[in-house]
Structure 1
Amino acid sequence: MRLSNEKDGGIISEKIEKLQQVDRWLPGIKVIQRIDPEENLYLCHRGRERYRLSPAFFKHLPTADFRKLIFDAKDPHTCLIGTFGEKGEERSLYIRYSANDSPSEAELISVELIEKNAMGSPSLRVLQILPSNLLGWVPAKTARIVNEMVFSADHRKKYQLLTRRNREVLTLMVRGLSAEEIGQQLYISVNTVNTHKRKVREILEIKSNYELLQYGMAFDLV
Structure 2
Amino acid sequence: MTINMMTALDDRICAAVNNIKTTANEYPGVVIIQNLATQRLLYMSDRGLNILGANWEDMAKLTLEEYYIRFFNIEDLNDYAPKVFEYLEKNSPDDSVTFFQQVRSKDGNFRWYNTSIKILMQDDEGRPLLTIVFAVPIDPLESVKHKVDRLLEENTFLRDNYQKFSKLGDREKGVLKALALGKSSQEISAELFMSVATADTHRRNIKRKLGTQSLYELQQFARAFDLI
TM-score (norm 1): 0.50
Whose Rg is larger?
Answer: 2
TM-score (norm 2): 0.49
Which structure has more helix as a fraction of its residues? 2
